[in-house]
């Protein structure tokens, strides 16, 4: 098992570098087609009023972009999960549980800008490509139903987490600049992390094996960047009820 894992890790690292080089070069037309495949299950016939309101906020951020190769679209999912995700093709999924956690328009704007940061760095395509590489290697060497496959996939995924954390940090810093551009200050950049940090029972050590940095680490990184760039932190705009389901 150790030898097989070593071979898989070596191949995965080499192909992972290739994916990171190739993914940013995918045409936006291909990206849109990939996104449509993955999002068929989420497509609504008619957007809700909350979806439309969040879309307006997203559009107010998108106008800051120098180039708009994609049409960015919000899809609101009625689910208690407090999360947002960037999907290929410009799709941003917002889970309704997230709207119960954010307290201001600024908080929500930062989250949307964070997802735009992933699009700017094409992280969503890199992550998808590495996952395809991972599954392909494991099934080729061991077969899809091999009893060791799940163990090996989980092992490599844990090694991958630290790379994902770097992507999350880069997206946070991207969102910070965008938030300042929109509001003239960065109030709302740290408050969401502050709230979930108080609710979170996971220690810093366990966060080593997750795809996102610890909320406290994210706040610390943002605080340093705010000081470095001389950004102001002012009063936030309350989140109107129209944003909620």
CA distances from 193 to 15, 188, 197, 205, 215 (A): 34, 10, 6, 18, 5
The answer to whether 57 and 178 are in contact (CB under 8 A) is no
pLDDT reported for residue 215: 87
Pairing of strands 84-87, 91-95: antiparallel
The answer to whether 32 and 64 are in contact (CB under 8 A) is no
Pairing of strands 91-95, 73-77: parallel
Domain count, the chain: 1
Please give the model's pTM, rounded to 2 decimal places. 0.79
pLDDT in tens, 35-76: 777 677 666 667 789 999 999 999 999 999 988 889 999 999
Domain residues for the domain of 170 are 2-243
pLDDT reported for residue 7: 66
pLDDT in tens, 125-152: 776 666 656 656 566 665 655 555 555 5
For residues 179 and 118, which has the higher predicted lDDT (pLDDT)? 179
């Amino acid at each position: 098992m150790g030898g097989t894992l070593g071979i898989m890790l070596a191949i995965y690292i080499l192909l992972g570098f290739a994916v990171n080089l190739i993914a940013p070069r995918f045409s936006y037309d291909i990206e849109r087609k990939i996104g449509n495949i993955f999002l068929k299950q989420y497509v609504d016939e008619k957007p809700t009023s909350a979806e439309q309101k969040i879309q307006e906020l997203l559009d107010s951020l998108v106008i800051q972009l120098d180039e708009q190769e994609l049409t960015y679209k919000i899809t609101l999912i009625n689910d208690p999960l407090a999360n947002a995700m960037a999907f290929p093709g410009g799709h941003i999924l917002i889970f309704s549980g997230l709207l119960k956690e954010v307290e201001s328009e600024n908080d929500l704007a930062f989250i949307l800008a964070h997802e735009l940061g992933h699009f700017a760095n094409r992280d969503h395509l890199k992550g998808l490509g590495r996952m395809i590489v991972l599954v392909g290697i494991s099934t080729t060497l061991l077969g899809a139903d091999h009893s060791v496959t799940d163990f090996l996939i989980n092992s490599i995924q844990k090694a991958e987490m630290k790379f994902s954390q770097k992507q999350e940090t880069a997206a946070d810093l991207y969102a910070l600049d965008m938030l300042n551009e929109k509001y003239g200050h960065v109030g709302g950049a740290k408050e969401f992390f502050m709230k979930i940090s108080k609710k979170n029972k996971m220690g810093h050590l366990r966060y080593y094996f997750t795809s996102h940095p610890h909320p406290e680490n994210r706040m610390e990184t943002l605080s340093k960047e705010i000081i470095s760039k001389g950004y102001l932190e002012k009063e936030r705009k309350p989140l109107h009820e129209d944003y909620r389901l």
